[in-house]
Structure 1
């Protein structure tokens, strides 16, 4: 960053989403570009940061490059993917975006975090403020060891274009897929070393450092960033290969002890668009996605599921899905950037018990349409009436003993807590912790149950999410068995605090 005023050292941990991309060439390693952590295995940077000679390390959690602080995580970059339309020979221009894939996953903590992406096509408002951070060259011509930050004013496209035309009527590379910042005449600018780094606004990555006019900080020169919202398709294609993916099923560790699967002769297949609130939560293993759990869309950026569905792997939420073995134009793929289980949930207790609820935050907002919708939440502490009907949805194992690829649904009967408790005691089921913060469904004697793969999915009643699939205390579809759900109304404070 080149400046005369307004720039300050970063406070340690203030920008946990930034990474230093350090190039190793001819036996020398040096900071070359910045980047932003968008998943645990991917960094978003500028296409002009891609180099075919040498190789990169991504260093996350860094503050002062001159010292080892113990917060750094260093991972080899295995693939650099520039936008296919970027013209490196032109020096500056559009399509200046790239995905850097990492050899192994970063561990998220207070010093290393992912950053959210904006909605497709979103344009930052002119006159608003964005935050730049980086290790770019400073006003004394040297590269700082300590991460720097400065607030920048965003200018709308027309204002910036007119300004750049005045500076150089013969050459103006500005396009509408860029973000332009000032102030133009205060010597505050991006500079060498900031390339590829983040411009952040309201905790979203809105821009990638692209170019400025030489020299850095020249009077009247704006800073130009790649507008991230213009390239979400490119980003998604190269994070998850979603247009060429092959999905397999992943069996939970103990399908006989917990989970949901709609096992019944009376179940029916979902009609596309009938349950637009459900998502398939899929685990990314290598370059393949595996269905793991269900979940329910409660805001455009949050999914409600079971705490036992949390994973150390990268999770991708797939909304608008019908057949999870094939692609559909109705589907939206969004990475999960944060998994928040209820703090009192005990994940060592055979994966079943109370507090089995979690909020999964999405990296960017889903687009609501006829296939993707939020579901209503119940009033706090409301309890569904015993004997009433509710609808269970999921991709769990069926009576064939195999998982289904087509979303299934079945109507179940809700039993009040007392009736459920008495019945389970009668069945000599005493090894599970049952509290009044659960729901219980039957019918007990018709082999209708949940099973592995339905975990975390919705129990819906009158357009409201009343339950989250938690566990079955007997084997799936056992006659005389019951299905147990987390009662959503018991956890409204937790939900509202974390969305």
Structure 2
């Protein structure tokens, strides 16, 4: 009998020879787990000489990080490749659906662990993977405990592969109970071993009857408390007594994770801190020109005083920190400095934190958004101070505007600002630690000539200041933008009509130097055209033109022969490019796709369509947006394909296949459309205007022939009053109560022409190009299409939804 981790230097050789059919128990008394029951558990594998073998367990604490024991890592041979296998249940199978295998990038062993001492207490190691694990039903991370959180009194669940002899291949589990320090030491002493090996950073599990025991291959595996998906990682199996199942011995001696939470965070934080320092180093240009700008000499802002500012957060594992500022120009667009994106290491990700005042605490006003895509100015050259230091961030879902979160106005093009301006940010105030509370500082603008001369007088290169910059004084020192405020806003004017005139770009170190400009900024008015080209937002109007399209297929026919599958019957071929704002909403399954709905582009990233195009589509597959098309049956050079980042269904819409009110949806594209002569947005109507006269509908819906057309169809029709529409429906012995004031209808009632299947969500427009106005969204029609006496289409009146559209997208009628 001996004390052992049962992880010997050559224990993996035993595993290499294990037979695939071996299902001996993981530990004495264990039972089989269910597939996916422990999605945070990985099998650590050694790949050598063409053979794979499990040698330890490991626990996912972040997509890039695995926690295991030091002994598991130290006893690996110098040859072979190590991998973490996630999503596995039966290791005897060559592969399993949903599994992911990722190689080790680097390992970190606890610095106090002493490999020469058998059963040393600090038995922990971290594994950094070469790439992040995806999240799925079979793969996710587990929550860490608080630092020095006590061991729960209740039962713990232990899960692992391994076992007596050659080891088990099916994942096992057992319920174990912690025993006291005194009881554990006494049990080990009673076996004539040194109970003092047991440290207060360990704990033991019972019972001592030998009913349960961990054995070969199970070390490095987790002991958890709580129910899925909120389990907390309490311990990592460290060592035990052999032979496994010895009566009177603790079932497992466990490394208590809560004793090492600070080390875990610090170790993963080593990379985090080093990368932060790397950012600091990379952002300082020669001759003390510094991009890490912060407010020196500022004062605390009031909560909500700058509702358009965001904190750009760098997130690595579970840690996040403020690295830059940015400002909101629409519900889905943020502007910042290009170097805030390009000089960040690839490890981790950026997130946007809006509505904050104190970034050191939780605030109810906070809104966190991920980044769907970013657009660097094409002339930006990473690696040094320079011109065109701008980036646009497209958020993964729209911000909700309120008194703490809103957009700031853009300036008029090419205006050169003068007078005082105000800077805001969370950058350092000059004290040892940067502030958590938002700072502000009002400063005078100085001319470019004054700015260049000041920099030259410091024996630095003033020619770095070009005509797209603005600079602030005074030159007396003591106040400055400095580290942490890059990308933030420089504004003029009083709330709520502030205009953003500059983006914090770079400054002079040390911050607040006498004779130096207090900040160098990108002049926003030099970039209006670039901003509008990529976002659709123009000065003063806060418009976002978004191109999104939606579509729906067969299951949309409602009772009483009111049909949501609208198509153009009696129409004619459109000319290529005649409707550059229309999109085909494509339903994609595997490699197959089909047109199911239409939609209208209202900005480079927004498409409006019918809600039923989203809610009545089967969950299998996905929707894509196809813009710039004329013939959807062939490949066209003008085509632009986009995915959908987010969708916003009108809150009044009731899914379920029935025709009803509020049948509108907004689609946020995963990247902006490029506007040209074949792709652009359509104008929104003025609020609450009820259109009259002649209108045109366009779409790829059926023309009445056996097969729907590939070429875009168009049809011009007269609008009829709601009363005429209701009467026509009632005359057909159908219920017209659903037809509220947010609808419009088209005639004539003579039959033969109609919107029908496949045109749902598409545009009904008035006016001549390029000033067409979107008056309606195709919602429903009659079957058979073109029925005599029936309205030729029912549409949602867009002017009834201006406020909802603006609330969610920032787009207003032009």
User: Normalised by the size of structure 2, how large is the TM-score?
Assistant: 0.45
Range 226-235 or range 8-17, more displaced: 226-235
Structure 2 counterpart of 1:242: none
2:530 and 2:625 map into 1 onto residues whose CA distance is 16
Q: Does the Cα contact within 8 Å between 2:582 and 2:600 map onto a contact in 1?
A: yes
Structure 1 counterpart of 2:552: 251
2:477 and 2:489 map into 1 onto residues whose CA distance is 21
What secondary structure sits across from 1:484 in the alignment? strand
Q: 1:381 to 1:106 in 2, by over 3 A?
A: closer
Instruction: Tell whether 2:508 aligns with 1:213.
Output: yes
Q: 1:131 to 1:370 in 2, by over 3 A?
A: farther
User: Following TM superposition, by how much is the alpha carbon of 1:116 offset from its aligned partner in structure 2, in angstroms?
Assistant: 7.0
User: Following TM superposition, by how much is the alpha carbon of 1:409 offset from its aligned partner in structure 2, in angstroms?
Assistant: 1.7
Instruction: Tell whether 2:741 aligns with 1:448.
Output: no
Q: 1:448 to 1:147 in 2, by over 3 A?
A: same
1:101 and 1:381 map into 2 onto residues whose CA distance is 32
C-alpha distance after superposition, 1:175-208 (max 9, x if no partner)? 2343433454474421111123344565676543
Aligned length: 470
Q: 1:266 to 1:116 in 2, by over 3 A?
A: same
Q: After the TM superposition, which residues 284-303 of structure 1 pair with which residues of structure 2 at under 5 Å, given as runs?
A: 293-295=598-600
Q: Does the Cα contact within 8 Å between 1:279 and 1:317 map onto a contact in 2?
A: no
| Alignment match of 1:69 (pick from 339, 363, 374) | 363
Instruction: Tell whether 2:310 aligns with 1:18.
Output: yes
Q: 1:186 to 1:308 in 2, by over 3 A?
A: farther
2:352 and 2:439 map into 1 onto residues whose CA distance is 16
Instruction: Tell whether 2:564 aligns with 1:263.
Output: no
Structure 1 counterpart of 2:488: 197
What secondary structure sits across from 1:420 in the alignment? helix
Structure 1 counterpart of 2:794: 484
Q: 1:292 to 1:12 in 2, by over 3 A?
A: farther
Q: After the TM superposition, which residues 103-182 of structure 1 pair with which residues of structure 2 at under 5 Å, given as runs?
A: 105=397, 108=400, 110=402, 115=407, 122-127=413-418, 131-154=422-445, 157=448, 160-161=451-452, 164-165=455-456, 168=459, 170-182=461-473
- Higher-Rg member (1/2): 2
Q: 1:40 to 1:424 in 2, by over 3 A?
A: same
User: Following TM superposition, by how much is the alpha carbon of 1:464 offset from its aligned partner in structure 2, in angstroms?
Assistant: 7.3
Instruction: Tell whether 2:676 aligns with 1:384.
Output: no
Structure 2 counterpart of 1:93: 386
C-alpha distance after superposition, 1:357-381 (max 9, x if no partner)? 79999999x9999986876958976
2:801 and 2:373 map into 1 onto residues whose CA distance is 43
Instruction: Tell whether 2:521 aligns with 1:225.
Output: yes
Instruction: Tell whether 2:290 aligns with 1:4.
Output: no
What secondary structure sits across from 2:436 in the alignment? coil
Structure 2 counterpart of 1:468: 776
Q: 1:303 to 1:55 in 2, by over 3 A?
A: closer
User: Following TM superposition, by how much is the alpha carbon of 1:425 offset from its aligned partner in structure 2, in angstroms?
Assistant: 1.4
Q: 1:425 to 1:59 in 2, by over 3 A?
A: same
Q: 1:113 to 1:322 in 2, by over 3 A?
A: farther
C-alpha distance after superposition, 1:206-228 (max 9, x if no partner)? 54322111222234414123456
Q: 1:424 to 1:69 in 2, by over 3 A?
A: same
Q: 1:36 to 1:495 in 2, by over 3 A?
A: closer
2:802 and 2:366 map into 1 onto residues whose CA distance is 37
2:406 and 2:708 map into 1 onto residues whose CA distance is 32
1:326 and 1:380 map into 2 onto residues whose CA distance is 38
| Alignment match of 1:433 (pick from 700, 724, 738) | 738
1:256 and 1:453 map into 2 onto residues whose CA distance is 13
Q: Does the Cα contact within 8 Å between 1:117 and 1:205 map onto a contact in 2?
A: yes
Q: 1:261 to 1:187 in 2, by over 3 A?
A: farther
Q: 1:92 to 1:337 in 2, by over 3 A?
A: farther
Q: 1:213 to 1:311 in 2, by over 3 A?
A: farther
User: Following TM superposition, by how much is the alpha carbon of 1:424 offset from its aligned partner in structure 2, in angstroms?
Assistant: 1.1
Instruction: Tell whether 2:724 aligns with 1:419.
Output: yes
Structure 2 counterpart of 1:457: 763
Q: Does the Cα contact within 8 Å between 1:304 and 1:357 map onto a contact in 2?
A: no
Q: 1:161 to 1:434 in 2, by over 3 A?
A: same
Q: 1:20 to 1:122 in 2, by over 3 A?
A: same
1:308 and 1:486 map into 2 onto residues whose CA distance is 11
C-alpha distance after superposition, 1:235-277 (max 9, x if no partner)? 9889xxxxxxxx99743695435657442243221353x557x
Q: Which has the higher contact order (CA 8 A, sep 6+)?
A: 1
What secondary structure sits across from 1:419 in the alignment? helix
What secondary structure sits across from 1:472 in the alignment? strand
User: Following TM superposition, by how much is the alpha carbon of 1:440 offset from its aligned partner in structure 2, in angstroms?
Assistant: 2.0
Q: Does the Cα contact within 8 Å between 1:16 and 1:111 map onto a contact in 2?
A: no
Instruction: Tell whether 2:363 aligns with 1:58.
Output: no
Q: 1:458 to 1:110 in 2, by over 3 A?
A: same
1:427 and 1:393 map into 2 onto residues whose CA distance is 26
Structure 2 counterpart of 1:241: none
Q: 1:379 to 1:188 in 2, by over 3 A?
A: closer
1:496 and 1:29 map into 2 onto residues whose CA distance is 32
User: Normalised by the size of structure 1, how large is the TM-score?
Assistant: 0.68
1:317 and 1:270 map into 2 onto residues whose CA distance is 20
Q: Does the Cα contact within 8 Å between 2:296 and 2:482 map onto a contact in 1?
A: no
Q: Does the Cα contact within 8 Å between 2:565 and 2:757 map onto a contact in 1?
A: yes
Q: 1:43 to 1:372 in 2, by over 3 A?
A: closer
- CA-based RMSD of the aligned residues comes to 5.7
Q: Does the Cα contact within 8 Å between 2:424 and 2:489 map onto a contact in 1?
A: yes
Q: 1:3 to 1:338 in 2, by over 3 A?
A: farther
1:373 and 1:11 map into 2 onto residues whose CA distance is 37
Structure 2 counterpart of 1:244: none
Structure 2 runs not aligned, ≥5 long: 1-293, 536-547, 616-622
User: Following TM superposition, by how much is the alpha carbon of 1:474 offset from its aligned partner in structure 2, in angstroms?
Assistant: 2.7
